[in-house]
Amino acid sequence: PSYETASEIRMLRKLGADVVGMSVIHEAISACYLGMNVTACSLVTNTLSDTNTKVLTHNDVLEIAEKSKYSIFNYFKSALSSI
């Protein structure tokens, strides 16, 4: 993966963006094309600012995802149990 540069973050903020996704939209478009109903949920694994001096690595993102997996599991477990 390639992460946002400080310049891209400044541009996205000026355009009104709060979050940028890497791939959910592509899967959603494909699923809709195939006639599927789509609900999407994304986990934000990197929070960046245009003044951040730390270089984000893929391992950083994987670590955050690993720490979040039980919270995500419990969220969906709770949501689905109410259906």
4 is catalytic: yes
Task: Write down the H helix ranges in the chain.
Answer: 6-14, 24-33, 58-81
What lies within 8 Å, CB to CB, of 83 at 6+ separation is none
Quick one: 78 exposed, middle or buried, by C-beta within 10 A (0-12, 13-18, 19+)? Answer: exposed
User: Residues 4, 27, 63, 66: which is the catalytic one?
Assistant: 4
Residue numbers annotated as active site: 4
